[in-house]
Amino acid sequence: MIENSKKPLPLMEAFRTIQGEGAHTGVPSFFFRIGGCDVGCHWCDVKESWDAGKHALTDVSVMLKMLEDQDLTVVITGGEPLMWNMSLLTESLKKKNKKIHLETSGAYKFSGTWDWICLSPKKTKSPLEEWYEKADELKMIIYNLNDLKWAEKHAAKVGPNCQVFLQPEWSKRDLMLPVIIEYLEKKSNWRLSLQTHKYIGLP
């Protein structure tokens, strides 16, 4: 993680949309996508985010000016945003009374102040243990049958109030969605997450 919280962030994109996944599906949200990721999922749908050097370094003050009063929920995603120190960004958003949600693989050290943490572990770089107790939501991407067993291993580590989701990987959704639905009928602690923004044509 880059320790200096006052450094500009490699902002890949900023956009207003409807949260399409997980516990806050359907919530109007403003997304900051931070560039840089070395987790390297082969099915990643934003591989253009991986190289932080391709994205303009942007001061937090500039990012804040992109927000409007109606942007109540701000989602910080990537890439892997925790490669960078999130303290200044989140403190600044808090001063604007924003609800701040994080989407992370958990592969990097914790920083920032968050209202909601979505932990989405990846096989290529495991989460640090500290993330399991901090997670409000565990979102497991299901690419094949073995991923269900892998998901259970991570679910066993999170706190009792953490919401747990199984989400079919987009390119395998037609194959894996029926499998997940059948699994949910037996495992009622899990919930289904879909990338609904893609179904309705939003970013």
- Report pLDDT for 6: 77
Residue at 138 is within a domain: yes
Does the residue 3 lie in any domain? no
What average pLDDT does this structure show over 58-62? 97
Q: Is residue 5 predicted with pLDDT exceeding 70?
A: no
Number of separate domains in the chain = 1
pLDDT in tens, 7-52: 899 999 999 999 999 999 999 999 999 999 999 888 898 999 999 9
Residue 136 lies in a domain: yes
Q: Mean pLDDT, to the nearest integer, of 48-60?
A: 96
pTM of the full structure: 0.95
Strands (E), the chain: 9-18, 28-34, 57-58, 73-77, 99-104, 116-119, 137-142, 163-168, 190-192
Is the pLDDT at 90 greater than 90? The verdict is yes
Could you tell me what percent of the chain has a pLDDT over 90?
93
pLDDT band at 101; cut points 50, 70, 90: very high
Q: Residue 184: helix, strand or coil by DSSP?
A: helix
| Segment among 5-9, 54-58, 185-189 with least mean pLDDT | 5-9
In a domain, 31, yes or no: yes
The mean pLDDT value for 116-137 works out to 97
pLDDT at site 4: 60
Q: Residue 1: inside a domain, yes or no?
A: no
Residue 15's CATH number? 3.20.20.70
Which residue pairs from 53-61 have beta carbons closer than 8 angstroms and sit at least 24 positions apart in sequence?
53/10, 55/10, 55/11, 55/12, 56/10, 56/11, 57/7, 57/8, 57/9, 57/10, 57/11, 58/8, 58/9, 58/10, 58/11, 59/8, 60/8, 60/9, 60/88, 60/89, 60/92, 61/92
**19, 29 Cβ separation under 8 angstroms:** yes
Q: What is the mean pLDDT of the chain?
A: 96
Task: Establish if 35 belongs to a structural domain.
Answer: yes
- Full domain range(s) for residue 78: 9-199
Q: Does 2 map to a domain?
A: no
Let me know if residue 193 belongs to a domain: yes
